[in-house]
Structure formats: C-alpha cells, structure tokens
Chains A and B, each alone.
Chain A
Amino acid sequence: MFGDFDTGVIFQNWHFLLEGMQTTLLLTVIAIVGGLVLGTLLALARLAPFKPLSFVAGSYVNFFRSMPLILVIFWFYFLVPLVVGRPVGGFYSVLIAFVLFEAAYYCEIMRAGIQSVRQGQIYAGQALGLTYAQNMRYVVLPQAFRNMIPILLTQAIILFQDTSLVYVVGIKDFLVSADLVANRENRILEMFTTVALVYFVICLSGSLLIRRLQRKYAQ
C-alpha cells in the first residue's frame, strides 16, 4: 500500500530516468518532423491530379492506418537490419518505423488542411502566374499548416504517448528505464506511479495549451 511508498528511489535514479526521457523526447521530435515532412508530401501526392500517384499515396495511408503500431515496430526491427545488411541498432529501426507510420496520420491531417484552403485562393495564385509548386509553397501550405495547428499538436501528444510502445523491443526510453529501476530495486508501485504521473502532467499541460491556442485562433 501507499504506507511504505518510497520516494527516495525516484530521486536516487533521477538521472537514469532523465536519460530515458531524453530518448523519448528525441524519438518524438524526430518522428514529428519526419512524419510531417513525409506526410505533407503524401498529402500533395494524394491530391495530385495524376491518378496513379494519388492511388499509391492513398494505398500507403490505408495500409499503415490498418496496422497496429506494435506490429509496425516489429516489422522494421526485423526488416531494417536485413535490408541494410548489418545490425544498425534498435533505435534507428524504431525511428524509421515511427516516421513512416506517423506520416500516414499526418498525411490525413494535411490533406484536410489543404482542402480547407478556399478554392478561390488557388485560382488567385494561378491568375497571378504562380506555378503549381509556387502556389503550394506560398499560398496553400502556409494556410493549411495554420488551420491545422491544433490538430497537428494533438497528434504530437498522441505520438509522445505512443513512443512508450518501443518497450516491446527494449529501447531505453522513459518507460523502459523506469521498468529497469522498478525491477532492480523491487519498487514497482513507486516507479509506475511516477511514470504515469509524469506522462499525465506533460500531456495534460500540452492539451490545455492547445485548447488555449484554439480559443485564440477562433477569435
């Protein structure tokens, strides 16, 4: 019970946990940036007038969206060393898995964002003599990103939570570090409660921030 709840074990292993958190954050940030770039390209491909291109992008998105993230992690953990031909370390395999997986979700967000830009804006760009690429770069995408900021950030929080799934291949993220300490010191109760609390505080502050942003943009 909470009677012999030992906070000391948390402070003694603080540095170890912090290192784990760094891995979690690193994974989150790279997956967001990579997923967003690839996802935006996919969204452009999906909305392209050239049918085969939009079909390929659509299949990509549906494929990844019907698979559990854990299975994708296992896939790439197995596949990447095989393709590269030498062991590359679990972290890189998992990183690739996250970028490719998240790209499918970011693609759908960006697609909705691009479609939310009024048609008149695109015509205006064309009338000014902008090329397709220029129109996208200077007219459509900046507005699409701005419209989608709240949803993009919500997805970032989901992604931050999802990175805990690297547990299944033993990458030393925040959860795995805590799990190691919990088993070594036999302090399961303290460690898992701490992990839950830390995630909760970070994610709740994040979603409160998003709500505030939303209100600001709505005005």
Chain B
Amino acid sequence: MNYNWDWGVLFREPFGGWLISGFGWTIAVSLAAWTLAFTLGSVIGIMRTTDSKLLRGIGTCYVEVFRNIPLLVQMFLWYFVFPELLPDDAGMWVKREMPMPAFTTAAVCLGLYTASRVAEQVRAGIEAIGQGQRNAGLAIGLTPAQVYRYVLLPVSYRIIVPPLTSEFLTIFKNSSVALTIGVLETTAQARQIEEYTFQGFEAFTAATLIYILVTSIVMLLMRLIEGKVRIPGMISLGAK
C-alpha cells in the first residue's frame, strides 16, 4: 500500500476548521430534525391509537408513505420538486429568499422522515400499556384527552426511552444525507478534505471518531436517564 501519512493535515488551516464547522452543522441538523420528529411523531403515534377511524387512517398513511420512500429520494423531492408545486410566489420564496435553504430543507425532511419512525415507537409504547388502564381512566370520568395526558403518556414515554435513543442516533447518522443537497456537515467536510489534500485516511478517521464519540456520549447519557425514569416492575421496550 502506497500512502503518505500526514496527520498534521487535520490541524492545519483551513482543514481543521472545516471539520469543526462540519461537526456544528451535523449537530444543528440533528437537533432541529429531532425536535420536529419528536413532536410530530408523538402526535401521529397518538393518532394511531385513538378510537377515531379517520385519525387512525391519516396516521397510518403518513407512516407508510414516509417509511417506504428512501430518505435520499425524499430529500430530493423537498429540495427540487416541492418548490415547483407551490404557487409561483411561494415557490420563488422557497428557492430564493428562505434563509439557509439547504439546512432548512434537510432538517425538515429528516424530521418528517423520522417522525414516521418515532410514531411507531410511541404507538408501541401506548399499546404496551394495555386497554385496562385506558378503560379505568375513562371509568373514573376522565375525558379521552385526560386519559392520554395523565394515564397513558407518562407511562409510555418512560418505557420507550431505549428505542427513542436509538431513533435519535439514527437521526444523527442520517444527518449525513444532508450533504447531497449541499449542507457541509461532518461527512461532507471529510470528503472535501480528501479531495483537496488526498489525505483520505486522516480525514475519514477524524470523521469516524467524531461519530463514535457522539454516539458513545449519547448512549451513556441515555443509560443514566433510562435508569432514572425506569418504572419498577415494568420491562422497557428494548432497542431494536
């Protein structure tokens, strides 16, 4: 193998700065997307457990559509096709004036995609509690909304901490797909350093370490939280 090692390249300007800014974008995309995915995913997951056929149907359609199209294709649909479908003014705004178009599109797309997966976990969490508690809540005169708020959700969120952790790590890794529409996150920066300096080994190793480091920190943190919120006597739903 013919290769000139030069680890110094990672600390030389501008390449070191590229990696750091790439890391920043990775975190930004992941957190923004997670906020959307968690909120919308919860709503859709809850919808799929209600008594209303209509709400259940909408929830099911959402999950099936977003789960069965590759993330990369969805990314292209939002970035290239979606502005074309809007009325002219709105389309122009999305293309020209929207602040940070690539970042915003990537975060929204990743958020909507992951919402379908979060929804499945939330639904599984609520279904794991069983019909008895729901009936008990209704029997003591709670409204359906109160049953969710005070009986079902506090328990179900606590038992789905492990699968939600793994969904968050998935979003964190999937944020690399944003590079296809021009967000210069960690993987994109590593690739760029490789193209500029031919030091692919060093650049990709740095990126790999960044991902492994964040994954390990998140797993440790969540294990602590999981221990704190565990309900004695109740088995949590294992991560996939």
Contact = CB atoms under 8 A, between A and B. Distances in A.
A67 B177 contact: no
Given A68-B211, A192-B80, A200-B65, A74 B70 contact: no
Interface in A160-219: 161-162, 164-165, 167-168, 175, 179, 188-189, 192-193, 195-196, 199-200, 203-204, 207
Interface string B150-167: 000000000000000000
Contacts of A82: 1-3
A83 interface: yes
Contacts of B84: 1, 188-189
Interface string B51-80: 000000000000011011111111011001
A164 B72 contact: yes
B81 A193 contact: yes
Interface centre among A68, A74, A165, by most chain B C-beta atoms within 10 angstroms, is: A68
A207 B176 CA distance: 26
Interface stretch (B31-39, B104-112, B200-208, B220-228): B200-208
A69 B215 CA distance: 14
A69 B131 CA distance: 40
Contacts of B187: 68, 70-71, 74
B215 A203 contact: no
Contact of B85 (A1, A79, A85, A164): A1
Contacts of A79: 200
* B interface SS class: helix
B117 to A, nearest CB: 11
A71 B204 contact: yes
Contact of B69 (A83, A162, A167, A196): A196
B173 interface: yes
A194 B103 CA distance: 25
A188 B80 CA distance: 7
Contacts of B173: 66-69
A203 B63 CA distance: 13
A138 interface: no
A34 B83 CA distance: 41
A187 B97 CA distance: 24
A92 interface: no
A74 B188 CA distance: 10
Contacts of A14: none
Given A75-B204, A188-B80, A192-B81, A68 B69 contact: no
B68 A165 contact: no
B208 A199 contact: no
B174 interface: yes
Contacts of B211: 66-68, 71
Given A161-B70, A196-B69, A207-B68, A66 B177 contact: no
A195 B73 contact: yes
Contacts of B194: 74, 78
A85 B2 CA distance: 8
B204 A196 contact: no
29 contacts: A63-B212, A66-B211, A66-B215, A66-B216, A68-B174, A68-B175, A69-B176, A70-B177, A70-B187, A71-B187, A71-B208, A74-B190, A74-B191, A78-B194, A78-B204, A82-B3, A83-B1, A85-B2, A161-B68, A161-B71, A164-B73, A167-B180, A168-B179, A175-B70, A179-B76, A189-B81, A195-B73, A200-B68, A207-B67
Given A1-B85, A78-B204, 18 more contacts: A1-B84, A68-B211, A70-B177, A71-B176, A71-B208, A74-B187, A74-B204, A75-B204, A83-B1, A164-B72, A165-B177, A167-B72, A175-B70, A175-B72, A189-B84, A192-B73, A199-B69, A200-B65
Interface of B: 1-3, 64-65, 67-74, 76-77, 80-81, 84-85, 169, 173-177, 179-180, 187, 190-191, 194, 200-201, 204, 207-208, 211-212, 215-216
Interface of A: 1-2, 63, 66-71, 74-75, 78-79, 82-83, 85, 157, 161-162, 164-165, 167-168, 175, 179, 188-189, 192-193, 195-196, 199-200, 203-204, 207
